[in-house]
Structure 1
Amino acid sequence: MKDYKKILVVINPTTDHQPALARAVELASKSQAEITAFLSIFDFSYEMTSILSSQEREAMRQGVIDQRVAWLENAISGFSKFNININTEVVWHNRPFESVINHAMKGYYDLIVKSTHEHDKLKAVIFTPTDWHLMRKSPVPVLLVKEHDWPVAGKIVCAVNVVSEDEDHQKLNGKIINHALDLAKKFSASVHLVNGYPGTPVNLAIELPDFDANVYNNTVRMQHEQRVQYLAQAYNIPLENCHVEEGLPEDVIPEMATKLDAELVVLGTVGRTGFSAALIGNTAEHVIDSINCDLLAIKPDGYKSPLED
């Protein structure tokens, strides 16, 4: 994979502490990347003031933008010692995720970086958080940042899908692993492949008296282990860095990330149906809520964002 040469950082307007910007600076220092600190703001009250003319409302909006530009310039000033080119961009938009994705596509950015936190599960059903939208709809890789450090000689977990042997799955696995290997080289980290396999279906054991659940379970496990080891050998990853566990991906991935004390989980996300039953839908969203480290979400080649329509 190519280096990250253009990094778009989503700024949190509610705090002066910007973990995403700090992480982007770490990455940029390894690849001489250019960073854009991006802030999307909106205040519905400025749109509803009917006593003001459109020109007056525009002037008020511009005044808010100017204030935020000054605040953002001050926020990035603390990173001047790193000698990295950091641009700023403040836009007025009522849907932050759309403004981020559109800016990333138009500017041909290589990576979107955003800080995240555990979401309220009930609210998330009604109001999908911005970072979930980014994972689903951004064609550009999205790095969601938590407070976990990236130490030298750390560990990077790749969530691979070996259920199907079709070409699309293989390409996405390769893309995930290549991103991880590139980052591992920059940070002297080790890459680990993680895969979850399904347990024995309960209905089979009930409906078929002669069904041997242990034999079935061992057969499934061995198939998954062989496929994960094949991937490891193809990318020169030590076999001892292969981890195959029984369970759903959204459970196995966080458990292994915690066990390894990984600083990063890399997985594939697909924004459309019919491609993958293992890492589609809510898996990435469950994982980001269950890990205490960063998550890098990657789309398959050829993915087209619904915002491009």
Structure 2
Amino acid sequence: MGKLFIVEPHESAHTDVITEGLQLANMLGKTPEIFAYCYEYFSGDPIIYEEVKQQLLQHKQQQLMERLQQLEAGDVPVHVVWCKYLYEHACEYAANEGFDLVVKGIHPSEHMLPTDWQLLRTTKVPVMLLTQNPLQRGNSVLMALDLDTDNLHKQQLNRQVLQHAKTLAAATRGKLHLAYILRVPRLIRDLEVLNIQQLVKNAYRRHQQLLTEIGLPKEQIHILSGEPDLCLYQLACRLKSDYLVMGARQRQGLMGWMLGNTAEQILQRSRSNVLVIPSSS
């Protein structure tokens, strides 16, 4: 049995992360723990600062304990952490303390570097981000694989995504779907310089052996062409997917912070819960 790290939602959040996190822990057979983050900056007497800090921490602790009592989950451990940057503590603690999964509500932001992006860039533990605008549930799990890659690290990430998606589908009793997106820029599609239908047929033929090994029915395999973030969003909506499982290669340095990746682009519009499997290789 593993451990599940649940991040208490922000006061303005519309998602009941604690309830959903506890349900997910129960389905996956994991032990849940709740983490809440507090931080306020103010200048003045350090003794008064410390007193106020302790009062805020105690107030938050009491709030969470009362909430868990209402959910008949009073035995779930609660941790209240004084920390300015949530992702710094969550990533380090989850990795060092043997957690298998971090569950957090998606935090909408117009800023360049929102908390969720920072979390995905640094986590070594899979992260489940719960949508604030869920679809009418269709009881399905959609996984995104890069079938054409010859990069060994990406192939390993594919296997990890497949494993996590199968586990999630079994735990939630959802129908598992596979998506592979042939990246074809819109300009090329609009100019009709390529036979898109033939590209898709060739992809099915090229990966027939791998698809057979995965063992999904043909109607649960989707090879599409276009921009990955938009195609995955549209497919997840069509399937009414409860969960979208995908890998994320974590870039480092300034360009990493600026460029983003498909997982981050998905978060801006997703109406499915998104399980991101990290790979820092």
Asked whether the two chains share a fold, i.e. TM above 0.5, the reply is: yes
Is this contact kept in 1: 2:188–2:194, CA < 8 A?
A: no
Q: Which residue of 2 aligns with 1:296?
A: 275
Q: Which residue of 1 aligns with 2:5?
A: 8
Q: What TM-score comes out, normalization by structure 2 length?
A: 0.87
Q: Specify which of 219, 222, 242 is matched with residue 221 of structure 2.
A: 242
Check if 1:196 corresponds to 2:181: yes
Check if 1:64 corresponds to 2:56: yes
Q: Which residue of 2 aligns with 1:98?
A: 88
Provide closer, same or farther for how the CA distance between residues 226 and 22 of structure 1 changes in structure 2, counting only shifts above 3 A.
Answer: farther
Is this contact kept in 1: 2:248–2:261, CA < 8 A?
A: no
SS in 2 for 1:40: strand
Provide closer, same or farther for how the CA distance between residues 16 and 157 of structure 1 changes in structure 2, counting only shifts above 3 A.
Answer: closer
Provide closer, same or farther for how the CA distance between residues 85 and 109 of structure 1 changes in structure 2, counting only shifts above 3 A.
Answer: farther
Is this contact kept in 1: 2:6–2:18, CA < 8 A?
A: yes
Is this contact kept in 2: 1:229–1:242, CA < 8 A?
A: no
Instruction: Could you list the structure 1 runs, at least 4 aligned residues long, displaced by more than 4 angstroms after superposition.
Output: 15-18, 200-206
Provide closer, same or farther for how the CA distance between residues 269 and 150 of structure 1 changes in structure 2, counting only shifts above 3 A.
Answer: farther
Please tell me whether Structure 1 or Structure 2 has the larger radius of gyration of its CA atoms: 1
SS in 2 for 1:158: strand
Q: Which residue of 2 aligns with 1:165?
A: 150
Q: Any unmatched runs of 5+ in structure 2?
A: 253-258
Q: Which residue of 1 aligns with 2:193?
A: 213
Cα drift, residue 55 of structure 1? 3.4
CA distance in structure 2 between the partners assigned to 1:124 and 1:16 by the alignment? 17
Overall identity of the aligned pairs, in % = 22
Check if 1:79 corresponds to 2:79: no
Q: What TM-score comes out, normalization by structure 1 length?
A: 0.79
Is this contact kept in 1: 2:135–2:240, CA < 8 A?
A: no
CA distance in structure 1 between the partners assigned to 2:206 and 2:106 by the alignment? 33
Cα drift, residue 201 of structure 1? 8.4
Amino acid at match of 2:131: K
Check if 1:124 corresponds to 2:111: yes
Cα drift, residue 204 of structure 1? 12
* Worse-superposed segment, 218-227 or 163-172: 218-227
Is this contact kept in 2: 1:195–1:228, CA < 8 A?
A: no
Q: Specify which of 90, 100, 103 is matched with residue 110 of structure 1.
A: 100
Cα drift, residue 281 of structure 1? 2.5
Amino acid at match of 1:145: L
Is this contact kept in 1: 2:68–2:74, CA < 8 A?
A: no
Cα drift, residue 20 of structure 1? 1.8
Superposed CA RMSD = 2.8
SS in 2 for 1:290: coil
Query: How many residues of Structure 1 are paired with residues of Structure 2 in the alignment?
Result: 274
Is this contact kept in 2: 1:19–1:146, CA < 8 A?
A: no
Q: Any unmatched runs of 5+ in structure 1?
A: 207-211, 274-279, 305-309
CA distance in structure 2 between the partners assigned to 1:203 and 1:252 by the alignment? 16
Q: Which residue of 2 aligns with 1:252?
A: 231
